[in-house]
Structure 1
């Protein structure tokens, strides 16, 4: 018997007061048609009301996939919990969900994506919740914001500190979804799901288990239906016994602004010559310098921003494949994509389900992470998750906190300050006009990464900007390299709100970085780990 129903029929199954878990990562894997149907039902009938929605990564992105904005309606939403949220340019009207959050219309929370997946697994197994050190001394910690995004959320805490076996932990009680809305490519008549056109598996299986094991329902949005028995068992990622209903959207996009690209889903491999190499500019200089921090044979995580161009720097230097890239949506290897396709990779070696990728990150199994910064604090802390004057431009932390909590090595990259007019001439950086907004501040507005814990744990932390390179030390932030053409006092020390330490062996950044030709990059080999070293890591 077929499980296929219309979107309107599926929306009618969601009761008032339900806890609804939605699988998506921005435009990637977003069940957009189902969310639209829920919003339309509410507009027509006033139901469902008072929903709590869970979004482990994000749903929608304001560039063709509305996602959560379909249900961002007073009365429909009672509470929202997300790893991140749709963002938009500062010049545009904020997404509807941001208007509700900043207007304090509903309690809103930003829980790290990996922890949200952990909460689903704990709910599925009927365990009480998640005990973790991920997020200590960041905005996740209840002694700071406790994941709250507005005043309403502070009245309903989602996390607390506890002592267990003589150590301090964060405790997140499991949240049990009554409905899971997931997405795949193909469903057979029994509801078995395959993901052959998807750019990632995300966490649909874990979300389905959490709902089904607790008496809830699972609704899957797919692109097409096939006959029962026609799917290869090894290809089925969510079995039909976990799926109650299926809706069909033959127009569903693979990811934002991409209807279908077989290289994203690993069905073909693109020639390396088809990938765009970054144009020569200040951002490319930063990405090149970040690339110099890598070792051949490493597994390296990438975040959104300048660092997303580093794989293409390696490609331009003839070093594609020297590093295995790992991203939170689940792709391993290949070439991570840019802009609104970020989160996808072409030519991937493998796709991991996101919850297991986050287990890998939380346990620091990888070698390094390349991430961005909005602000750097005196103590080395980093903010990427909140700027009060541009709240809807910052989408939240996503997996940033999971990734950085124990990472062995992190390279943060960004512009030294905001708004500077910069140029490059004769192999030197030219600062034509200084920026008005300092990014090295006494105290960051939002602690997404704790410099204090990094020092305690002995993490290797580097900050790369267009005008200098800095390292985090127990004594403070140490300036180790300066760009050619830059004045130490005027362009660096005077542009920081706090005193920087200056290395006695201050070096000039590699001159090759500031010329258009390839830099002749070589990467040292990653040292092989012995069994003894591995057992004590």
Structure 2
């Protein structure tokens, strides 16, 4: 093979035709994002108004909430349709959806990754239980997020007396993939990446759709420089390679071998010691309701019946649970996973959610989601935007704005035990805690426990069918899912049940015959209870 596959980013962007379906990959903060390619597509459109009317699909959130990631594609005329797993990293794309200037859809992040694999294999779509009863079920909206979205992305099918969803296949004309290095033939390595994500599945889908696989790498290597086991995408799948010598681990981190899992021996031990010291220091941040909820939630981690449970932590309050376990030096008591495909290590949060330092294993995202869908998760800690009387949770559409589920649906629907964590109200809430009690100074203008959620991202009734144990933990009270609906069974010390809880809900929950009071230690600053 010649080296003719190597070209500039502008030349690679020129391979995309009007009306193409383009598969993207990446995570917030620049995780495995082909930034150079994204910017080249944007520059070409701004100069020539081509390509136009693209369909863009991505499994997870991509961007910086400003100009990078999906923001590069958020131009009227450039995209016609977006099928996005998570939208919050691109406010400009959210606005296009809100203004009906594009067709806006969502798919569960795992479903999107797995669907790429099914497309690549030439199979008739993805058949799965994931999404039943949620916004991705055609009976609940079918993933359509605005009036312009008309297409049915899924259908309900019955096999062996059970319902499933069939997510329909479609050709991928172009895959924009990010990796670490390419040799002269175009063999691709992920060696220096902080995750694998769905790069392989996406490349497979485009290759076998008759499309183009365009890979951005940080380094060009001689022929034979990569061993067979280092090659994650073979040259036979690759059409074009663009070298970006400025490629970074994240938008703000040039390169850190701890994120790519390359450290071993003494270097890894030293890095892990630094991580643990930082985690202990973080544990001493100002005590707040986040830490109180995390302490109560952490109790459930070791009540799964498993000696060493497999756990997933979501973004928001749940990452406070991860920090608490790390601060207690109890990581060895769990198998920690995140949907990006990573096991173990020190989890990052905020704009670096999805990164882990010194991970113990990195799998492809589609394989990780296979593990989740098959019931491999013992417990998951997830946030919530809204909760209703049936135990349904909404995180995908809030205040009329397209948010998307990311991996939430795949995780929440399949973990044996699900612990939703969050505050009982929002917007203007003022709380005081740290002395063994929780006191509400101002109730908040937005109720999160509502009569009916705006959109179902987690289905309480489906959770009952699947036999899940489901808890909803707030700073004021704890609830659980029962066949009769949501039941309040616990209250925080210092909270008035009627004034601070029931009056702040839009539905009347079942109340347990005996309502327990949470231990004061969960609300006492300076303790790691």
Shorter-chain TM-score bucket reads: over 0.9
Q: Deviations over 1:257-297 (max 9, x none)?
A: 33222211112332111334242211111111111111251
Task: Note the 1:220-299 alignment, pairs <5 A.
Answer: 220-268=215-263, 269=268, 270=271, 271=273, 272-275=276-279, 276-278=281-283, 279=285, 280-295=287-302, 296-299=307-310
In the alignment, is the contact (CA less than 8 A) between 2:105 and 2:143 conserved in 1?
Answer: yes
Q: Aligned pair count?
A: 509
State the TM-score, normalizing by the size of structure 1: 0.92
Query: What's 2:142 paired with?
Result: 146
Aligned CA RMSD, in angstroms, stands at 1.6
Q: Distance in 2 between matches of 1:294 and 1:362?
A: 20
Deviates more, 1:496-505 or 1:372-381: 496-505
Asked if structure 2 preserves the Cα contact closer than 8 Å seen for 1:316 and 1:518, the reply is: no
For 1:445, the equivalent position in structure 2 comes to 454
Q: Contact conserved, 2:434 with 2:525, CA < 8 A, in 1?
A: no
- 1:182 corresponds, among 171, 174, 177, to 177
Work out whether 1:316 is the aligned partner of 2:327. Answer: yes
- Alpha-carbon distance in structure 1 between the residues aligned to 2:69 and 2:322: 29
Q: Which residue of 1 aligns with 2:413?
A: 405
TM-score of the aligned structures, taking structure 2 as reference length: 0.93
Change (3 A) 1:126 1:225: same
1:505 to 2:514 alignment: yes
Q: Give the match for residue 116 of structure 1.
A: 112
Alignment partner of 2:77 out of 66, 75, 78: 75
- Matching residue within 320, 333, 342 for 1:331: 342
Question: Does 2:425 correspond to 1:430?
Answer: no
SS in 2 for 1:441: coil
- Select 1:166's aligned residue among 161, 165, 174: 161
How many Å separate the matches in 2 of 1:352 and 1:173?
25
Aligned to 1:489: 498
State the Cα distance separating 1:253 from its structure 2 match.
2.6
CA distance in 2, matches of 1:360, 1:425: 39
SS at match of 2:260: coil
Q: Given that residues 277 and 313 in structure 1 are in contact (C-alpha distance below 8 angstroms), is that contact kept between their aligned partners in structure 2?
A: no
For 2:47, which of 44, 49, 66 is the aligned residue? Answer: 44
For residues 354-373 of structure 1, the aligned pairs below 5 Å read 354-373=365-384
Q: In the TM superposition, what is the alpha-carbon distance from 1:425 to its structure 2 partner?
A: 4.9
Contact 2:377 2:414 in 1 (8 A): no
Q: CA deviation at 1:75?
A: 2.0
Q: CA deviation at 1:415?
A: 0.3
Q: Decide whether the 8 Å contact of 2:218 with 2:245 is kept in 1.
A: yes
Range with bigger deviation, 30-39 or 511-520: 511-520
Structure 2: which 5+ runs fail to align? none
Please report how far the alpha carbon of residue 473 of structure 1 lies from its aligned counterpart in structure 2 after TM superposition.
0.9
Would the aligned equivalents of 1:256 and 1:341 in 2 still touch at CA under 8 Å? no
CA distance in 1, matches of 2:173, 2:358: 37
Quick one: distance in 1 between partners of 2:88 and 2:473?
Answer: 27
Q: Which residue of 1 aligns with 2:404?
A: 396
**Distance across 2 between alignment mates of 1:201 and 1:456:** 33
Deviations 1:372-397 (A, max 9, x none): 001110100001111125x26xx310
Deviation per CA, 1:445-484: give whole Å up to 9, x if none. Answer: 1100001111222210011111111111112222222111
The structure in which a higher percent of residues are helix is 2
Cα separation, 2, equivalents of 1:439 and 1:329: 28
Question: Which deviates more from structure 2 when the two are superposed, residues 104-113 or residues 228-237?
Answer: 228-237
Cα deviation for residue 127 of structure 1 reads 1.3
Partner of 1:204: 199
Taking the aligned partners of 1:519 and 1:185, their CA distance within structure 2 comes to 40
Comparing 179-188 with 259-268, greater Cα deviation is found at: 259-268
- Is contact 1:325–1:336 with CA below 8 Å preserved after alignment? no
8 Å CA contact retained: 2:206, 2:213? yes
Cα distance, 1:118 vs structure 2: 2.0
Aligned 8 A contact 1:288 1:310 in 2: yes
Instruction: Measure, in 1, the Cα distance between the counterparts of 2:220 and 2:165.
Output: 43
Please tell me whether the aligned partners of residues 68 and 97 of structure 1 are also in contact (alpha carbons under 8 angstroms): yes
Structure-1 residue corresponding to 2:89: 87
Q: Is the 8 A contact 1:61 1:86 kept in 2?
A: no
Kept after mapping to 2: 8 A contact 1:29/1:183: yes
Which has the higher mean CA deviation after the structures are superposed, 432-441 or 408-417?
Answer: 432-441
Q: Distance in 2 between matches of 1:199 and 1:307?
A: 22
